[in-house]
């Protein structure tokens, strides 16, 4: 390894990313006046009698790019602009004018897209505006399919994104914030009108039209639904039709990256293509032809995937990478990688918050740093053995590079990711090239049908193989609780260990050991903190009673059986919360109060319709026993009352001590007036439907036997 001075772009990208991080993640912004600070530091370093000049110059250099990244992130945040549409005094009689900046996707009974706003029609006058608005249109309200670039005039009826309803659940507000989208609108029939004109990028429109035509071509073949959805996802980056079951299988086996066309995905295709073109090595002119073919293929591939942001980002990264390598513009591969990241972040600083961007670069870093080490440890003359070993080491290196991100975002670790990737990477590559070959073969009638049948069998085999791996014992370690700080410590520890293998320095080994100990102690502290408490959570899940009582890695889940057995709903609504508390065992209990229910642990218990959480007790009520609310001597012994189901009548004449918790199934013809009355009487209550999940936590106290 070379000295840090040999990595100028690495030295630039680190402070630049730090500045962006402070802006978009921490909302900490600096003004142009702060550029005086690095200038002052640099001038101090020029003084003749001043010592440590290089240190001061390096510091001024670091501070300059930190401020530059921070200011760039500020100016790319459209919400801070004075003409953002949300800052204009708009009534629900005014209109927004713009064009669809995304290819519409189907979400349930609606089309979802992003409206790029260019003006507001206020009091019949156009006012220039900027901003992006997430919009939903009911499919029943549309006579024809809507496309990217269509101009539209729509009645202003937007709202800010609401926070996630349940703890640690996916946050649409955060997700779209990093896409410069801060508002959402659900439009009814008559509130919008599509104009007979198009705007946007003509290349983007052509690319999306090309992708739509290829989707139609694939749809004409008699390919089963699951196989067809995987084919479209792999070749075209169109994953809207992939079923929840397929997504869960691919995610659980550690090959989810092949379903979403991203940097790692394109990287595999790029490496295979470079290998296939290796006969052009040696001669400078032939290598130039190889470079041109590589870049052309990358951008043609971007074209057929609709120029999605993740694909364009990856194609640009590998294009810069290829050009830099060919012309030897930089002295090593890490400078090329850093330069490509710098270019992308200058174009859009919000890329730093994109999961695909993070996984792409750290997977590539892992491969570049670790795979050469693995290659030195073993080599075989047998081509098949060598291929398996090479594929395994690439998979291990990429997994090591992205481990912290996968643990933080997905709270799981696929134990059999090596065999899964050994199978998935070559097969998915074969499917991608087969998918491209199917396009011209479709013109040959029966030959195209036969080839599509062969391609279908390959996809079926891939899906079956991953299903089998997923069914193996301990195939997936979950849930795993992981914080940002733990992720950062793990990345630092991995870096020190990797550097030790290169330099064999005791200092690096001690540094790795020290950081590892910090990680272990911090993780143990978090575990102790969580395991020393008991929790009650009433989830917000539409039309469902869902209550979780937990402590010390175990919980009981009170619900209907179909909700508990619905893997997708459990993963989306409940698993993030369980992961945060290190819950590894969850027992289902029927939500019907009429069922005889008893469950006991040292820290919590359920007996009939009473939940005991330490010394605090909660009462479950439904239509059959809500009359207990009027027995104040009994009721006032509880910390809270959880009400569920349809109440034909509920009249609380007198204020009670416990908090009234209305779950997602609570329904009453006069619910709004009832809640207003409770508020007027200063009754403490929590409506899960409008206020989100109810959460209660206390230090664990052993329940007396």
Query: pLDDT digit string (tens) for 303-355?
Result: 777 777 667 777 887 888 788 778 776 667 788 788 888 988 998 999 899 88
Asked whether 265 and 244 are in contact (CB, 8 A), the reply is: no
For residue 214, which of 296, 303, 339 has the smallest C-alpha distance? 303
Give the residue with greater pLDDT, 655 vs 612: 612
- Residue 85 DSSP one-character state: G
In the prediction, which pLDDT does 452 show?
93
In the prediction, which pLDDT does 212 show?
85
Q: Which residues contact 405 (CB under 8 A, 6 or more apart)?
A: 355, 358, 359, 362, 487
Q: Evaluate if residue 183 carries a pLDDT over 80.
A: yes
Token pair belonging to 686 = 């929590």
Token pair belonging to 109 = 């009974």
Cβ neighbour number for residue 534 with a 10 Å cutoff: 25
Token pair belonging to 671 = 């619910």
Q: Evaluate if residue 667 carries a pLDDT over 80.
A: no
CA–CA dist 392, 378 (Å, integer): 12
CA–CA dist 361, 340 (Å, integer): 10
Measuring CA to CA, how many Å separate 689 from each of 166, 184, 293, 505, 609? 11, 19, 56, 58, 22
Helices (H) and strands (E) in the chain, counts: 23, 23
In the prediction, which pLDDT does 703 show?
45
Give the residue with greater pLDDT, 410 vs 519: 519
Confidence band (pLDDT; 50, 70, 90) for 264?
A: low
pLDDT, tens only, 487-497:
999 999 999 99
In the prediction, which pLDDT does 634 show?
86
By the 10 Å C-beta count (0-12 exposed, 13-18 middle, 19+ buried), 507 is classed as exposed
In the prediction, which pLDDT does 705 show?
35
pLDDT, tens only, 4-62:
667 788 889 999 999 999 999 888 888 888 888 888 888 777 776 666 777 788 888 89
In the prediction, which pLDDT does 177 show?
92
Beta strands (DSSP E) in 276-346 are none
pLDDT, tens only, 282-307:
788 888 888 899 888 888 877 777 77
H or E segment and range at residue 476: strand 476-477
**What number is the average pLDDT over the span 350-375?**
85
In the prediction, which pLDDT does 2 show?
46
CA–CA dist 450, 462 (Å, integer): 19
Give the residue with greater pLDDT, 71 vs 255: 71
CA–CA dist 604, 535 (Å, integer): 9
In the prediction, which pLDDT does 535 show?
93
pLDDT, tens only, 211-230:
888 889 999 998 999 999 99
Tokens 């070379």 locate to 2
The CA-to-CA distance between both ends of the chain, in Å, stands at 64
CA–CA dist 610, 632 (Å, integer): 16
Give the residue with greater pLDDT, 592 vs 419: 419
């Amino acid at each position: 390894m070379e000295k840090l001075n040999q990595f100028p772009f690495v030295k630039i990208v680190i402070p630049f990313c730090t500045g962006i991080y402070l802006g978009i993640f921490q909302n900490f912004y600096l003004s142009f006046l702060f550029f005086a600070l690095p200038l002052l530091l640099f001038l101090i370093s020029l003084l003749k009698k001043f010592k440590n000049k290089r240190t001061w110059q390096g510091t001024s250099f670091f501070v300059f790019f930190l401020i530059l990244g921070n200011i760039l992130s500020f100016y790319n945040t459209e919400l801070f602009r004075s003409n953002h549409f949300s800052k204009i005094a708009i009534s629900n009689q005014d209109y927004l004018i713009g064009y669809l900046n995304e290819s519409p996707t189907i979400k349930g009974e609606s089309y979802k897209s992003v409206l790029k706003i260019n003006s507001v029609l206020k009091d019949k006058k156009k006012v220039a505006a900027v901003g992006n608005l997430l919009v939903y249109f009911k499919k029943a309200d549309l006579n024809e399919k809507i496309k990217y670039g269509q101009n539209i005039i729509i009645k202003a009826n937007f709202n800010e994104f609401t926070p996630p309803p349940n703890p640690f659940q996916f946050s649409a507000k955060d997700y779209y914030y990093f896409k410069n989208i801060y508002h959402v609108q659900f439009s009814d029939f008559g509130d919008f009108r599509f104009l007979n004109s198009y705007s946007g990028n003509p290349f983007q429109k052509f690319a999306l039209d090309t992708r739509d035509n290829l989707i139609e071509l694939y749809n004409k073949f008699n390919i089963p639904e699951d196989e067809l959805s995987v084919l479209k996802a792999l070749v075209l980056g169109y994953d809207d039709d992939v079923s929840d079951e397929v997504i869960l299988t691919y995610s659980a086996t550690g090959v989810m990256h092949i379903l979403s066309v991203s940097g790692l995905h394109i990287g595999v295709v790029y490496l295979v293509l470079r290998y296939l073109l290796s006969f052009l090595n040696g001669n400078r002119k032939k290598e130039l032809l190889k470079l041109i073919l590589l870049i052309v293929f990358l951008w043609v591939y971007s074209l057929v995937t609709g120029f999605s942001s993740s694909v364009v980002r990856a194609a640009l990264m590998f294009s810069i990478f290829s050009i830099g390598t060919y012309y030897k513009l930089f002295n090593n591969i890490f400078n090329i990688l850093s330069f490509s990241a710098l270019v992308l972040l200058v174009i859009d600083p919000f890329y730093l918050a994109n999961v695909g961007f993070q996984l792409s670069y750290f997977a590539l870093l892992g491969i570049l740093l670790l795979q050469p080490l693995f290659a030195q440890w073993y080599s075989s003359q047998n081509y098949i053995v060598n291929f398996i070993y090479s594929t395994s080491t690439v998979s291990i290196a990429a997994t090591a590079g992205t481990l912290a991100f996968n643990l933080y975002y997905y709270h799981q670790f696929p134990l059999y990711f090596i065999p899964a990737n050994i199978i998935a990477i070559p097969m998915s590559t074969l499917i991608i090239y087969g998918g491209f070959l199917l396009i011209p073969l479709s013109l040959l009638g029966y030959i195209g049908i036969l080839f599509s049948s062969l391609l279908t069998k390959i996809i079926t085999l891939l899906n079956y193989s991953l299903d089998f791996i997923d069914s193996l014992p301990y195939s997936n370690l979950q849930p795993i609780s992981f914080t940002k700080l733990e992720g950062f410590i793990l990345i630092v520890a991995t870096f020190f260990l990797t550097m030790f293998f290169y330099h064999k320095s005791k200092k690096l080994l001690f540094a790795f050991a020290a950081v590892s100990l910090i990680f272990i102690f911090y993780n143990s502290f978090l575990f102790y903190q969580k395991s020393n408490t008991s929790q009650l959570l009433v989830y917000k899940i539409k039309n469902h009673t869902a209550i979780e009582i937990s402590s010390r890695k175990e919980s009981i889940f009170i619900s209907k059986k179909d909700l508990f057995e619905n893997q997708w709903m459990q993963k989306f609504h409940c698993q993030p919360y369980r992961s945060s508390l290190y819950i590894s065992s969850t027992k289902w209990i029927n939500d019907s109060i009429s069922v005889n229910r008893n469950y006991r642990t040292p820290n919590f218990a359920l007996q009939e319709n009473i939940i005991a959480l330490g010394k605090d007790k909660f009462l479950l009520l439904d239509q059959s026993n809500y009359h207990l609310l009027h027995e104040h001597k009994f009721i006032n012994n509880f910390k809270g009352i959880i009400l569920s189901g349809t109440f034909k009548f509920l009249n609380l004449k007198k204020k009670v001590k416990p908090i009234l918790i209305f779950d997602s199934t609570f329904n009453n013809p006069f619910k709004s007036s009832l809640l207003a009355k409770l508020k007027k009487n200063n009754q403490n209550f929590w409506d899960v439907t409008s206020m989100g999940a109810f959460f209660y936590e206390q230090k664990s106290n052993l329940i007396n036997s």
